[in-house]
Structure 1
Amino acid sequence: MKKLVLTGAAGTLGSYLREPLSKMCQTLVSTDIVDHIGPLYPGETYVQADLADLNAVEGFAKEADMVVHFGAIADEAPWEDILQSNIIGAYNVWEAAYRHGVKRVVYASSVHAVGMHKKTDTIGLDAPHRPDTYYGLAKCFSEDLASLYWDKRGIEAVCLRIFSCAPATNARSIGTWLSYDDMIHLVERSIDSPVVGFTIVYGISNNDRAVVDNTKAGHLGYRPKDNAEVFAKEVFAETPPLNNKDLGNLCIGGPFATVELGNSGLAALNIVDDHKEN
């Protein structure tokens, strides 16, 4: 592949994707809103850009084979912030892809597009949208945008409904964990699968207590290897009894199901920041 674009390259997940993606193409264009992202990998260049600026997005989309779109606010936030970064930014990515003949967009969607579904339902990929926040609503919009641009303009898309891609440190993550290795594997399969059309897949590892069913995405060849059960004994020993009437414990969106709109959901999860340093 000649050229891949990675948006959100300065984020935690982007930091783990940069090196493997740089090995899949002649040129990797990494982009984010920050001034710099540190030392670059062989074949990687960095472009500072605001996704809410269509001209800027068109600039890095030119001659790209595919765009791996991970750039956005990665938490619940006030509506105006979500609108600019996560909704208008997504439109700009797909519109620029259309204008410049990009074959496929691999999109970091989220469990929060369906976050109000109950864990015990073990939903599949055909479950209707049930967003838990403005953040989740933006993911619903972008998934529908991806579907529209496939149906009307022929741009393929893989929407990755990413779960808990961080160290498994709380009870919820034993069912929702996505290891960094499995995340990389999922993105690689989303890129190198010959035909994907419009595909949705849950970004979740091979957890014994997984709360969703990925059966209908088998054509991607995504075969996760890691299992959060190895952390279960220690995590559960340190976790007080859960309130079984709390929507944050019942819904697959976790605390995002109970926070006030516009307020952080990550704040209740004690996420460990383990950004990769190259």
Structure 2
Amino acid sequence: MMKKLVLTGAGGRLGSYLREPLSKLAEELVSSDILEDIGTLYPGERYVKADLADASAIHALLEGADMVVHFGAIGDEAPFEDILGPNIIGAYNVWEAAYQKGVRRVVYASSIHAVGMHAKQDFIDTEVAHRPDTFYGLAKCFAEDLGKMYWDKRGLESVHLRILSCAQVTSARALGTWLSYDDLIQLVTRAIDTPTVGFSVIYGVSDNDRAPVDNSRASHLGYRPRDNAEQFALDILAAEPLADSTDSAQMCHGGAFAAVDLGQSGQAQMSIVDDKKKV
């Protein structure tokens, strides 16, 4: 068992589902976000408020840590000036602090939006070229390249989880892109407990019949999703209008993010249910 595991973005929706299982993987889970507090803590969990753009705060946060699960960021498209601090400088601060503090591995919440402008009919694998759909996606590309460089130059391992749609299934697109919360937990756990990972990229998606991405190059991580969005297909397709082949939101992997103007919210075009886990 690890002595200390750090989770950034612990106050977010995905972080709320990760806190309890991660608290069981280390003697101490240090959860962090920019909120004043995140409510009731699990046994072995401690909360530290820290701004990702504050290098000194992140270096202090990672002191003595074995690994860091980095989910903290602005989770939507926004003007570049807003993305720059938490998503780009914040990623650098995490990797540099991890290197200086002797952290073994960074597990990073990347995104399909790093490759979101690829055509949806292309069955893309983890080696496909970056093709970001937004400033948000561009920041994910930066962090993936950062992780590769720190592995090549400094031997710091990282796993980059290109999450597709970790939310309730409310659209036809999500029949392929859904990542259940149970599969999210398995994905992060495998990224932590796989003995060696080097630099790895894996798509965060459940075992959907209509999954549009190929994880065969990431099989070494041992992630074997169990859930399938096909259980929702009948109701979703009955309510969905016919597809529009001129709509980038329907024709590109990035969905709504591929269609919005740079700096404009992608989530505002989606129906994301806020089902954040309550302790």
Q: TM-score, normalised by structure 1?
A: 0.99
Unaligned runs of 5+ in 2: none
For 2:98 and 2:138, the matched residues in 1 are separated by 22
For 1:110 and 1:180, the matched residues in 2 are separated by 16
**What is residue 174 of structure 2 aligned with on the other side?**
173
**What is residue 163 of structure 1 aligned with on the other side?**
164
Aligned-residue RMSD, C-alpha: 0.4
State the 1:215 CA deviation. 0.2
The superposition leaves residues 51-78 of structure 1 with CA deviations (integer Å, 9 ceiling, x where unpaired) of 0000000011001000000000000001
State the 1:245 CA deviation. 1.5
1:133-172 aligned within 5 A: 133-172=134-173
**What is residue 93 of structure 1 aligned with on the other side?**
94
Say whether residues 1:66 and 2:67 are aligned partners. yes
The superposition leaves residues 162-188 of structure 1 with CA deviations (integer Å, 9 ceiling, x where unpaired) of 010000011110010000000000000
SS of match in other structure, 2:46 = strand
1:207-222 aligned within 5 A: 207-222=208-223
What is the letter of the counterpart of residue 258 of structure 2? A
For 1:24 and 1:85, the matched residues in 2 are separated by 26
For 1:274 and 1:67, the matched residues in 2 are separated by 25
For 2:30 and 2:102, the matched residues in 1 are separated by 16
For 1:32 and 1:125, the matched residues in 2 are separated by 29
For 2:74 and 2:278, the matched residues in 1 are separated by 21
**What is residue 42 of structure 1 aligned with on the other side?**
43
For 2:23 and 2:241, the matched residues in 1 are separated by 43
SS of match in other structure, 1:2 = strand
For 2:7 and 2:126, the matched residues in 1 are separated by 25
What is the letter of the counterpart of residue 149 of structure 1? Y
The superposition leaves residues 89-113 of structure 1 with CA deviations (integer Å, 9 ceiling, x where unpaired) of 0000000001100000000000000
For 2:275 and 2:164, the matched residues in 1 are separated by 16
**What is residue 244 of structure 2 aligned with on the other side?**
243
SS of match in other structure, 1:120 = coil
State the 1:234 CA deviation. 0.3
After TM superposition, where is structure 1 displaced by more than 6 Å over at least 4 residues in a row? none
**What is residue 11 of structure 1 aligned with on the other side?**
12
**What is residue 182 of structure 1 aligned with on the other side?**
183
**What is residue 131 of structure 1 aligned with on the other side?**
132
For 1:103 and 1:155, the matched residues in 2 are separated by 6
For 1:37 and 1:124, the matched residues in 2 are separated by 36
**What is the identity percentage for the equivalent residue pairs of Structure 1 and Structure 2?**
65
For 2:103 and 2:142, the matched residues in 1 are separated by 20
**What is residue 113 of structure 2 aligned with on the other side?**
112
For 2:269 and 2:178, the matched residues in 1 are separated by 16
Q: TM-score, normalised by structure 2?
A: 0.99
Aligned length: 278
What is the letter of the counterpart of residue 59 of structure 1? A
For 1:192 and 1:112, the matched residues in 2 are separated by 26
For 2:140 and 2:118, the matched residues in 1 are separated by 15
What is the letter of the counterpart of residue 184 of structure 2? M
For 2:125 and 2:241, the matched residues in 1 are separated by 30
For 2:147 and 2:136, the matched residues in 1 are separated by 17
State the 1:119 CA deviation. 1.3
The superposition leaves residues 127-155 of structure 1 with CA deviations (integer Å, 9 ceiling, x where unpaired) of 00000000000000000000000111111
The superposition leaves residues 23-45 of structure 1 with CA deviations (integer Å, 9 ceiling, x where unpaired) of 00000000000100000000000
SS of match in other structure, 2:132 = coil
